[in-house]
Structure formats: structure tokens, C-alpha cells
């Protein structure tokens, strides 16, 4: 397998406070990679550094070999790396369908002139966007809810919609920030199935998760962050037995 994403000695400081210290990890194409750690361990900060929302203090992030840490979020999306947010950030006052249609933005090309003249190419593209968005909604299980307002969807559906929207950008790598937080076991189960389906469809997944059971059952490999440092990385089963991890994180629950 080839390396899709590599984080190389990334440090992120806010003022004097180091949120990430020398973190390195690699995600290989085709795997489901889990990022776990206690609250405040720096997981979301790492996500933000990888997706261009934060600039790293030092270190490098490489996507398919090319450095991306200096790029803007939209450029990183364009290179095939999409994400969702821990505190769902949908376009609340747009319909579910419109939300996903926005996600097609980086893969479509209509300019102002094209939009105004509504030439054949633009019309075809627009129809394609709509079609693709409908398809994605069905794919994540929101087929009948395309016209409803995003903010009126149930919590679980909003998470699904956010995934559909991210998928619309055609990512090779999809980063999900606590995608099953607040869901009941049944919903978690269904989400797990969706993740496997995504992987089979060729999308590499990177997830931040609190639910250790889900992570262990789903992820090929796992990295554990604690106080901004990586304390373990490897296959789920190995990591689970790592004494450092048990002390830092699993110890509380196991």
C-alpha cells in the first residue's frame, strides 16, 4: 500500500502553549485510520493543521507526497482531502440537497459568464451537480430528505449530511471529526457500516473518535494522542495492549 497522508513532526503552538508537539503519523491509501486520545489531547487541532484551518508552527503535512501545510483550506480540498466538523457545521438554512450541491463546487467550473448566459455546458454541469447530489444523499441514507432544511434534520442525519457534503468534493481522503458522537448504539452500528462501505468505494478514512469500541472494531490502525504528543501508533489490537495507552487513556475505562 502507498502512503496517502503523512504528518511529519508537526508542532502547533498557541502563544506559549504547545497544542501539538512533534507529532508524526502516516495514513496509507485504502485504510481506516483512527485517531484517539482524551479530551484536549490535540486531535481536532491536528485535524485543523492538516486541513489548512491552522498554520503549523513547524513540521510538514504531505498529501500523496506533496507538502500541503502552507496551502489554504480550499486548495487542500481540491487536492482530494475533505473533512467534517466535530460541532456540525452545515449550511443550516439551505436544504439538504443544496448543502451537498455546494460540495460540488471544487469539481465544477461554471464562471459568472457561464452562469449568466446559461449556455449548454453550464446547464449540463448544473444538472450533473443535482444528479450527483441526489445520488450522494441516497448513498448516505438521506434519499427522502433532500428538500428538508439542514437544520431541521435529526442529529444523526445531520452527521450523515455532513459526510455526503464532504463526499461531494470527491475526496481520496476523508477526515471525520467524532462522526458518531451523541449517537445511540444502533445508529453507531449503521454509521460503522457506512464507513466500511466508503472504504470499499475507495475512500481512505481518518477518524477522530472517543468510542474506543467502535474504533477498535473498525480501524486498521490507530494512533493515540495525549497532551499533544503521539504516545502510540499501530494496529488496533497492539495499541490496545500498549501500557502507555492504558495508563493515559484506556486505563480510565478498562
Partner 1 sequence: MDIFLQQLVNGLVLGSIYALVALGYTMVYGILELINFAHGEVTMIGAMVALSVIGVLMGAAPDLPGVMVVLAGILVAIPACMALAFGIEKIAYRPLRKAPRLAPLITAIGVSIILQNLAMLIWGRQYVSFPPLLPTIRFEFLGAHISLLQIAIVVLAVTIMAGLWLLVEKSRLGRAMRATAQSKEVAQLMGVNVDRVISATFIIGAAIAAIAGVMVSAYYGLAHYYMGFMLGLKAFSAAVLGGIGNIAGAMLGGLLLGVIEALGAGYIGDITGGFLGSHYQDVFAFFVLILVLVFRPSGLLGERVANRA
Partner 2 sequence: MLDSLRRRPRLAFALLAVLLAALPFIMGFGLGNSWVRVLDFVLLYVLLAIGLNIVVGYAGLLDLGYIAFYALGAYVYAWLASPHFGLHLPFWAVLPIGAAVAGLFGVLLGAPTLRLRGDYLAIVTLGFGEIIRIFMNNLNAPFNLTNGPQGMNLIDPVSVAGLSFGKSLHLFGMKLPPTYLYYYLFLAFTLLAILVAFRLQDSRIGRAWAAIREDEVAAAAMGINTRNMKLLAFAMGATFGGLAGGLFAAFQGFISPESFTLWESILVLCMIVLGGMGNIPGVILGAVLLTMIPEALRYIGDLQRATLGHIVVDPSDLRMLLFGVALVAMMLFRPAGLLPSRQRKREFAAEDGVAEQEQASLYDAKA
**Residues binding partner 1 (CB under 8 A):** 48, 53-54
Question: What's the start-to-end Cα distance of the chain, in Å?
Answer: 33
Q: Which of 77/231 has CB closer to partner 2?
A: 77
Binding piece for partner 2, criterion CB under 8 A, among 118-126, 209-217, 228-236, 245-253: 118-126
- Scan for cell 507526497, then name that residue: 65
> Is 126 near partner 2 (CB under 8 A)?
yes
CA atoms within 13 A on the CB side of 243: 0
Provide, rounded to whole angstroms, the least separation between the CB of residue 48 and partner 1.
Answer: 8
**Cβ nearer to partner 2, comparing 28 with 126:** 126
Residue of 5, 37, 42, 98 interacting with partner 2 (CB under 8 A): 98
Q: Which three cell numbers stand for residue 3?
A: 502512503
What x/- string results for residues 76 through 95 when contact with partner 2 is judged by CB under 8 A? -xx---xx-x---xxxxxxx
**Strands 32-36, 221-226: pairing kind:** parallel
Site for partner 2 in 212-251 (CB under 8 A): none
The 10 Å CB-count burial string (b at 16+, else e) for 161-174 is: bbbbbbbbbbbbbb
CB of 135 to partner 2, least distance (A): 15
- DSSP letter for each residue of 110-178: --HHHHHHT-HHHHHHHHHHHHHHHHHHHHHT-GGGSSSBGGGS-HHHHHHHHHHHHHTT--SEEEEES
Partner whose footprint covers residue 103, from partner 2, partner 1, none (CB < 5 to 8 Å by kind): partner 2
Q: What is the phi/psi pair of residue 196, to 5°?
A: -65, -40
Question: Binding partner of residue 54 among partner 1, partner 2, none, CB under 5 to 8 Å per kind?
Answer: partner 1
Nearer to partner 2, 33 or 85 (CB): 85
Site for partner 2 contains 146 (CB under 8 A): yes
Sketch the per residue contact string, 10 through 49, with partner 2: x for CB under 8 A, - otherwise: ----------------------------------------
Alpha-carbon separation of residue 126 from 114, 117, 123, 140, 145 (angstroms): 11, 13, 5, 21, 20
- Minimum Å distance from CB 141 to partner 2? 14
- The neighbouring-strand residues paired with 204 are 173
The CA distance from 102 to 211, in Å, is 30
Pairing type for strands 3-14 and 58-63 reads antiparallel
Q: In terms of DSSP H, where are the helices of 23-95?
A: 43-50, 73-78
Q: Which does 251 bind (CB under 5 to 8 A by kind): partner 2, partner 1, none?
A: none
**Binding residues vs partner 2 (CB under 8 A):** 51-53, 72-74, 77-78, 82-83, 85, 89-95, 98, 101-108, 110-112, 115-116, 118, 122, 125-126, 129, 144-149, 151-152, 165-166, 168-169
Amino acid at each position: 500500500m502507498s502512503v496517502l497522508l503523512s504528518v511529519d513532526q508537526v508542532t502547533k503552538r498557541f502563544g506559549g502553549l504547545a497544542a501539538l508537539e512533534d507529532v508524526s503519523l502516516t495514513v496509507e491509501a485504502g485504510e481506516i485510520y483512527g485517531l484517539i486520545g482524551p479530551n484536549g489531547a490535540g486531535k481536532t487541532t491536528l485535524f485543523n493543521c492538516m486541513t489548512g484551518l491552522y498554520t503549523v508552527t513547524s513540521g510538514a503535512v504531505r498529501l500523496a507526497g506533496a507538502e500541503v501545510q502552507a496551502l489554504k483550506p480550499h486548495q487542500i480540498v481540491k487536492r482530494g482531502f475533505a473533512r467534517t466538523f466535530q460541532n456540525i457545521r452545515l449550511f443550516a438554512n439551505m436544504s439538504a440537497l443544496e448543502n451537498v450541491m455546494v460540495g460540488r463546487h471544487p469539481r465544477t467550473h461554471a464562471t459568472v459568464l457561464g452562469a449568466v448566459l446559461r449556455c449548454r455546458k453550464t446547464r449540463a454541469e448544473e444538472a450533473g451537480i443535482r444528479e450527483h447530489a441526489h445520488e450522494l444523499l441516497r448513498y448516505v441514507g438521506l434519499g427522502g430528505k433532500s428538500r428538508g432544511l439542514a437544520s431541521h434534520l435529526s442529529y444523526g442525519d445531520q452527521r450523515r449530511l455532513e459526510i455526503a457534503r464532504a463526499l461531494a468534493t470527491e475526496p481520496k481522503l476523508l477526515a471525520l471529526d467524532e462522526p458518531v458522537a451523541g449517537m445511540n448504539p444502533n445508529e453507531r452500528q449503521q454509521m460503522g457500516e457506512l464507513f466500511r462501505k466508503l472504504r470499499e468505494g475507495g475512500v481512505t478514512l481518518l477518524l477522530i473518535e472517543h468510542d474506543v469500541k467502535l474504533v477498535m472494531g473498525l480501524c486498521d490502525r490507530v494512533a493515540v494522542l495525549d497532551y499533544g504528543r503521539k504516545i502510540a501508533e499501530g494496529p488496533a489490537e497492539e495499541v490496545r495492549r500498549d501500557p502507555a495507552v492504558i495508563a493515559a487513556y484506556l486505563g480510565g475505562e478498562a
